Structure 1
């Protein structure tokens, strides 16, 4: 019996030793493969001729770690400052900071000497929960042009004129809410990121669904909006792992049903609101998006699923980005009191009363426009570059031939803070947009926060009008002061969108004084 037990133990030890050796061999093989592949990437890969840190060419880890931390926008500034206009930021990705990249990657590129323009890198763009592509996600140029034709009238100058009373109503409501709370407590601190978000979401809710989200009324985020904000960072971090096919395959099979249900419930909120809006028929005011879309023959070509998908898109694209710019502009003005004083003087000298304000009159204010452009340069609502993928023919970008299957992009934040493109690139100087000779050599065409080409932002004019109006109303009625806890507000992380901190200010009612 003792001999038998000894034999079994000996056999077990041998099996354990064999398993250990097998694991060591497997790890050694994998590690050797990783090192050999990394050496190939650094020295022999088709991108090896492009400058950049060797570690970033060896492995994706540094780039993905920067994304995880929300610091890729800062790393892009550092890398372009050191390596130049084109930088290899991962084994198969290039970042371009030359203004020509807008034309060659995103715009109407001329006939390339070699290759074709790179389309969107569709694997990097999430699909709507109902699986139906929206205005941003239409895969072919023909489909995109057809859908854009349907929506264009709703964002035209004529439409904006019809929508003007709606914009004015919510801008006045923001002022009224601020004034009411200030009267209750003159020493009150206001969190302006929230106030701007409340306003832009209420506006877009009315435009998209025919009714406000009532966030200004309730002084709190609608649950639908809260879920959206909470998901941005999580979704960005999950996307890191989904870049690996095996992990993506495993993730799709282990994702909790409860999470899928939450996603569907969130999307269903938009579906229900669209249903309610369509059941109302044409509104008496005739100002929301569906009135303007369905009034045209082409608008009836939208399927119900396309309506749902696009309504969800508009509620994201037309809200948080506008509120981000307003928050950034407010902070930059408060950190530059001379500039703030000059802008306030322009606003209060131009309008004898708020009754004189209109979208058209406000759009004609030169210093206000310069301040907004400069804020878009220093604090673009979308900081990273949107990824495109070179086709099988490759692409010629900024004079460089890029082989097939390479991710390419132009990072807004890094390009706009380039010392090669702008004098005093980190300073808030609106005069650079007003012909100041000191900044005559600035390459202002580098600033394209709404992108370029056939897929540029359709709501660009609407966004400008809304930003100008809200900023004008606030600064016309209140003097503002930055609270000490928000001195370093602009030092933020990015997860596609800015992960904004509270922007605390105190207000003084000009009318009361």
Structure 2
């Protein structure tokens, strides 16, 4: 009966079509609907089911279902058609170049990543094809410009973190806090916990965990003909160090030789997040569905357990969380869990990636490896290597900086939202409320910023080459949202690399050529390194 309604049905479907058009013109265009979609999805399903029950009372259930499908199509087809026409021909970003499908939908980029493309490489190729400013999503511009770095991320920026990418959860960590005023209220506690002065207090823990890792590498080197899987031991080191730094306890990875379940949850979250972060509405839908675990439930549970254990224990000397939870800005229980997760995710990503690539480049450049060893042995007692003796060594710092330039730990751009009035970058007006980012890998590999940018050459930081734009060196970002753990990361990388170089001579393993590391490492926001096997030979007197 419903499908034979003739004129009445035509009027219903026409009204729904007009409502779909009006929804886009007067509502969707002017609001961030991601949060509404997530919260409204289950009520929407309940309403649809209720309507089907009511219609089935008076008509055939099958016909009632078909009628509802047609009614939804009458609403959504005009809605999506209107969105598509607007994005192609009337959107404020319509004049910026970019792939046609990227101008229509964010799904274009998500599908590319799901098919195995790396985000930073995809964006780099788009800039090579379209120029400095590329429209990589309907409301998203990637800007390959050093001036853009200062405008988007610098100290005086008016841009804030984009809620589209950082607003996946109602409660936010410091890293996910989108509003600059709220971020500034929470940042001092982290700055105090990870200041250069405070980091020195963490050195005994760093020395102890580093010594344990060196012992593990030495033992592993004698057991496997392929060499030492250095990623594995660096992962163990990093996560044990996260435990010592934040919770005043080790997670026991180096002792057991096994990756902790918590680290596996971090890796799972990062691999999933790179696909879901452009689609926050989908995350909210998945979270709202009964019976399905949230995309990051495993990490949340691990963080909650770690936090409970930390609060139940007595700490001999202040750790990072001592300062974070003791700051002037009182945190809610949910914010405490979020900050706990942030520490577990972000505290080791730079160190792990940088040290892995450092060891690769030193393995294939034995003359630089030897020069670095001589520098350290000249200025420090390698039998009892103290950070104070190596912290200012030029080649050591240059090796790390050059590795961070060629292989930034976070190679893709960090999204920001332009202020309502918009901004001018390189003389080009960028409309307000536009998501923008600067592609870190592309900027650090630009001939405009560095001579011979694709070559790993640490001496460029000592004997400055013709083109050497340090303002385009942004592995820790810049400005008010920059990496709060930069000082500790440098201390950690210098100490670990110095200990490894003065304890071992190393080269690629017999079956290793570095191809997997270079070609199969994945951009999961933080770089996830592919396996690297090195032949580690203990230096005489160091075994």
TM class by smaller structure: 0.7 to 0.9
- Residue 424 (structure 2) pairs with residue 396 (structure 1): yes
Of 173-182 and 299-308, the range deviating more from structure 2? 299-308
Contact 2:276 2:283 in 1 (8 A): no
Determine helix, strand or coil for the equivalent of 1:490: helix
Deviation digits for residues 353-409 of structure 1, max 9, x if unmatched? 332x22222211101111111111111111111111223322333432211332100
Task: Give the paired residue count.
Answer: 473
Of 145-154 and 455-464, the range deviating more from structure 2? 145-154
Where in structure 2 are there 5+ consecutive unaligned residues?
A: 1-61
- Residue 316 (structure 2) pairs with residue 275 (structure 1): no
Contact 1:293 1:299 in 2 (8 A): no
Q: Distance in 2 between matches of 1:306 and 1:42?
A: 40
Determine helix, strand or coil for the equivalent of 1:505: strand
User: How big is the alpha-carbon RMSD for the aligned residues of Structure 1 and Structure 2?
Assistant: 3.1
Matches within 5 A, 1:20-419: 30=77, 34=81, 41-42=87-88, 44-68=90-114, 69-109=116-156, 117-125=158-166, 127=168, 131-182=170-221, 184-185=222-223, 187=225, 189-240=227-278, 242=279, 245=281, 250-254=285-289, 256-257=291-292, 259-260=293-294, 263-264=296-297, 266-283=299-316, 286-292=317-323, 298=327, 301-355=330-384, 357-419=385-447
Indicate how the Cα distance of structure 1 residues 180 and 65 shifts in structure 2: closer, same or farther if over 3 A, else same. same
Structure-2 residue corresponding to 1:430:
458
Indicate how the Cα distance of structure 1 residues 302 and 511 shifts in structure 2: closer, same or farther if over 3 A, else same. farther
Give the TM-score taking structure 1 as reference length: 0.83
Determine helix, strand or coil for the equivalent of 1:136: coil
Contact 1:205 1:212 in 2 (8 A): yes
Indicate how the Cα distance of structure 1 residues 126 and 499 shifts in structure 2: closer, same or farther if over 3 A, else same. farther
Displacement of 1:186 after TM fit?
A: 7.5
Give the TM-score taking structure 2 as reference length: 0.79
Displacement of 1:466 after TM fit?
A: 0.2
- Residue 524 (structure 2) pairs with residue 499 (structure 1): no
Structure-2 residue corresponding to 1:7:
none
Indicate how the Cα distance of structure 1 residues 32 and 455 shifts in structure 2: closer, same or farther if over 3 A, else same. closer
Structure-1 residue corresponding to 2:498:
472
Displacement of 1:64 after TM fit?
A: 2.6
Deviation digits for residues 141-173 of structure 1, max 9, x if unmatched? 222222111222211222112111111111111
Determine helix, strand or coil for the equivalent of 1:301: coil
Contact 1:394 1:401 in 2 (8 A): yes
Determine helix, strand or coil for the equivalent of 2:507: strand
Of 72-81 and 209-218, the range deviating more from structure 2? 72-81
Displacement of 1:320 after TM fit?
A: 2.6
Where in structure 1 are there 5+ consecutive unaligned residues?
A: 1-14, 111-116
Indicate how the Cα distance of structure 1 residues 127 and 213 shifts in structure 2: closer, same or farther if over 3 A, else same. farther
Determine helix, strand or coil for the equivalent of 2:351: helix
Contact 2:160 2:180 in 1 (8 A): no
Indicate how the Cα distance of structure 1 residues 145 and 32 shifts in structure 2: closer, same or farther if over 3 A, else same. closer
Indicate how the Cα distance of structure 1 residues 289 and 250 shifts in structure 2: closer, same or farther if over 3 A, else same. closer
Of 64-73 and 366-375, the range deviating more from structure 2? 64-73
Contact 1:486 1:502 in 2 (8 A): no
Deviation digits for residues 4-37 of structure 1, max 9, x if unmatched? xxxxxxxxxxx99xx9xx98xx79x959975x86
